[in-house]
Amino acid sequence: MRFLVQRVSRASVAVDGETVSSFEGPGLLVFCGVAPRDTAAQAEKLCAKLLKLRIFEDAAGAMNRSVADVGGSAIVVSQFTLYADLSHGNRPGFSNAARPETAEPLYMRCVELLRAALGAERVGTGRFGASMQVSLLNDGPCTILMESEAAEDAR
């Protein structure tokens, strides 16, 4: 499992011109990719690490606070393209990404875990499988790739 995490000042997701999630203020935009062999245990561990990720500044200006510490929000967007394979040319292949019937429950498990920790009103989503327009104001910029052990071992 992979999370591409961006520290943002605001973010929104629209589907077919309709905004389905948005927030203003400090928070995270989390793109979530799932591999075929990923498990719920891996999702839980990665979400726990995300919740402890200290990428927000403290009073001294050091990255020392988590999204929960700053009262921040999050939007989690499913993104199978995090598993793009470019080893055979310039057109990406996606055989390393989980099929929707595997990916969606794990993606939703991540959303549930974050909602339980931060509050349901502070965690939004995109729409699984939809073409989405994602807007954000990256703060820093600060972008971090997080992977479960299985993803790291596959490299």
Task: Tell me the pLDDT tens digit for each residue of 93-121.
Answer: 999 999 999 999 999 999 999 999 999 99
Q: Report the pLDDT value the prediction gives residue 44, as an integer from 0 to 100.
A: 97
Kindly report the CATH number assigned to the domain that includes residue 143. Answer: 3.50.80.10
Active site residue 80: yes
> Residue 42 in contact with residue 49, Cβ under 8 Å?
no
Active site residue 23: no
> Residue 38 in contact with residue 148, Cβ under 8 Å?
yes
Question: Which candidate in 31, 42, 80, 125 is catalytic?
Answer: 80
Question: Which candidate in 19, 39, 81, 133 is catalytic?
Answer: 81
- Number of domains forming the structure of the chain: 1
Q: Which residues contact 101 (CB under 8 A, 6 or more apart)?
A: none
Q: Report the pLDDT value the prediction gives residue 151, as an integer from 0 to 100.
A: 52
* pTM for the model: 0.93
Task: Give the chain's residues under pLDDT 50.
Answer: 154-155
Question: Which candidate in 23, 31, 56, 79 is catalytic?
Answer: 79
Q: Report the pLDDT value the prediction gives residue 150, as an integer from 0 to 100.
A: 59
Q: Which domain holds residue 15?
A: 2-154
